[in-house]
Each structure stands twice: as C-alpha cells, then as structure tokens.
Amino acid sequence: MSIGIGVIGLGNMGTDHTRTLHRFVSGATVTRVADINSERAAEITAQVPSATAASDGLELIAAPDVDAVVIASHDSTHAPLTIACLEAGKPVLCEKPLAPTVKDAADVVAHERGRGLISLGFMRRFDPGYAELKAAIEKPLVVHTRSRGVQSCPEVDSAMSITGSAIHDFDTIAWLLDSPVAEVSWHAGRQSPRVTGLQDPQVMLVRTEDGVLSTVETYLNARYGYDIRCEVVCETRAVRLAEPARTVVDADLRSAMQYAADWRPRFADAYRLQLQVWVDSVSGGLPSPLAGAHDGLVASAVADAAIRSMQSGGEFVPVETPAKALGSM
C-alpha cells in the first residue's frame, strides 16, 4: 500500500524531495508535481514516471490521487499553500519558513486548530548525528553551533541569513534542550570583504528558558565547505557532532577529510528519514513526529527577535512567544 504524494516547487529542494520519495522512501508514490515553470515540471515527470504535472499548486492539492503534499516552492507561497492543504484536509510537509512573518505564521497555526496536519522541514532533527547528540546530553549548560556554507545566493541579506540559516540552529537548540528560546542577542563578526549586501559572519547569543546559553555562528560564505557543527557542554561531559566524512585521503602532505559543497550530501540521510517518518505517519493515520506548525512559528519568532537585536545594536531581545503572538490575534 502506497500513499500518493504531490510536490509543489521543483527547485533544488523540491527536486531533491521528489527524487528521494521516488527512489528511497517506502510506501510513497509521487503522483503529482507542480512548478511555475512548466518545462521544469515536464523534466521531472520524464524522470519520475509515476508523476504527472499539475498546472499549479492548488490543482495539485485538490487532485484525488494526492494524499499528502510537500511544499518546496518560494517562501512567499508557503502560508497560502499550507492553508489550502488544511482546507483540503490533507497532511502537508512544508519547508521552512512556515510564513514570512511571525504574524502570518501565527495565522497558519490558528487555521490548523490543533489538527496536526502541518509538518515543518526542520530535518536536522532526523539527522543521525543530531539524534545521537541529543541522546547523549546530560544536564546541559552551554551550546555552541556553527552553520557555515560555501557561498550565499546573491539576493540574500543579513535578515535572510537569520531566517534561512540560523533558524535551523534556533529550532535545533530548542529541540536538543527541550526548552524554548527566551531571548537572543545579535553580533557582527568582522565583515568578510568578499561579501556584499550581507553581514557575514554573524554571531548570536541565545538563552533558552532552562538558562542554557548558546552561541550561534552563521557564516554563509565560509568558502571552505558546508560545515555544520554542534557541541553541547554539560555538567561533566561535552558532546559534539563528529566530522561526517567517510574516508581520509593522505596526499600532498595532508591527511584530509572532505567537506560537502552544500546541504544535499550532508543532510541526505536526514531528508530521507524525515520523509520516511512523515510518510509512515500519514499512511498510519498517526500524529506526525516531525516539527509542526507551532515549532515553525516559534522558530520564526526567534528569528524575528534576532533581527530586532541586529537592528537595535546587539542587546538581548526577548522572543515574543507563540502564546503572546496567538493572543494578539
């Protein structure tokens, strides 16, 4: 028995999801795909014979052979498409962010009304390294995270570095510690002279409600590789992610392990496992173990606080928690 999945948006992320679902996920069939570029959709259906192209996201969501939906289209479309899924009563796995603003995210949460239909793509929670790290934590005191990439897209600005990259660390920290983020303080590293239009690197201090202090470094143009690190300093131990390399090459006076050039090889397993677990929950009619709409709202609220700290000179800014956000609606 297989459930039918529709994938909206066929950029890097949506294409990767489509291929992973098609080739590596048990119990799922990609039945529909949609992209604003119809040629792109045709390319994909040529490679994934089970899928046909829908003319747009709404048609895809309505299609009878679509049991559940993956949204990987432009960020600005996430909220309306997610709401369309809710209205169709179909489970949806939406890439982050859930919505462009905290208020919009809160609207989506309100629409969901606790039905648990929305899953958010915070895939690090399914990375085997992070899972092992979480299991090894005992009485945490301090966390250090590093998210470094090779090169950012030209349009990315300082705020997008936070909402697109640091947001993963915000979710990860709260998930690792089982404690929501209470406040954030933003600081500039020395500006990389190769980078324009963006403060890069950035360093944030994050205080969770349990009192743990985290340092979050985001450096999108680190150039040397896609490098994700996390260390949790506990009372009597420290735990960290190992370098995820599979081989060591001795050459040219160096003993070297390879970095990925982007997120795909680094998090391939996390994306696969996240999709598998999601498909299992959909076909079993069970609650999704993925991050949900509320987690997406919370992470956006943390990002919002970080941006306000950036704008106000680095002071600690309290996270306007979902409860408040919802209350203000």
By CB under 8 A, the residues from 199 to 218 that bind a second copy are 201, 203, 205, 210-213, 215, 217
The reply on whether position 253 binds a second copy by CB under 8 A is yes
Question: Do the beta carbons of residue 140 and residue 146 sit within 8 Å?
Answer: no
Cβ closer to a second copy: 61 or 239? 239
Among 58, 62, 159, 238, binds a second copy (CB under 8 A): 238
Residues in 287-316 that interact with a second copy by CB under 8 A: 314, 316
Total count of residues recorded for the chain: 329
- Which residues, 6+ apart, have CB-to-CB distance to 132 below 8 Å? none
Nearest in space to 108 (alpha carbons), one of 319, 304, 300, 290: 300
> How far apart are the C-alpha atoms of 234 and 238, rounded to whole Å?
5
Mark residues 22-41: x for contact with a second copy by CB under 8 A, - for none. Answer: xxxxx-x-------------
- What one-character-per-residue DSSP string does 156-197 give? --HHHHIIIIIHHHHHHHHHHHTS-EEEEEEEEPPPPTT--S
- What one-character-per-residue DSSP string does 31-86 give? EEEE-SSHHHHHHHHHH-TT-EE-SSHHHHHH-TT-SEEEE-S-GGGHHHHHHHHH
Residue 4 one-letter amino acid = G
User: Min. distance of Cβ 153 from a second copy in angstroms?
Assistant: 18
Cβ closer to a second copy: 56 or 280? 280
User: Min. distance of Cβ 182 from a second copy in angstroms?
Assistant: 12
The reply on whether position 245 binds a second copy by CB under 8 A is yes
Angle between helices 293-311 and 102-112 (to 10 degrees): 170
User: Min. distance of Cβ 176 from a second copy in angstroms?
Assistant: 12
Residues in 265-284 that interact with a second copy by CB under 8 A: 269, 276, 280
Mark residues 110-149: x for contact with a second copy by CB under 8 A, - for none. Answer: ------------------xx--xx--x--xxxx-x---x-
The reply on whether position 197 binds a second copy by CB under 8 A is no
Cβ closer to a second copy: 74 or 142? 142
The reply on whether position 222 binds a second copy by CB under 8 A is yes
Angle between helices 128-136 and 263-284 (to 10 degrees): 80
Cβ closer to a second copy: 39 or 250? 250
Residues in 70-89 that interact with a second copy by CB under 8 A: none
User: Min. distance of Cβ 316 from a second copy in angstroms?
Assistant: 8
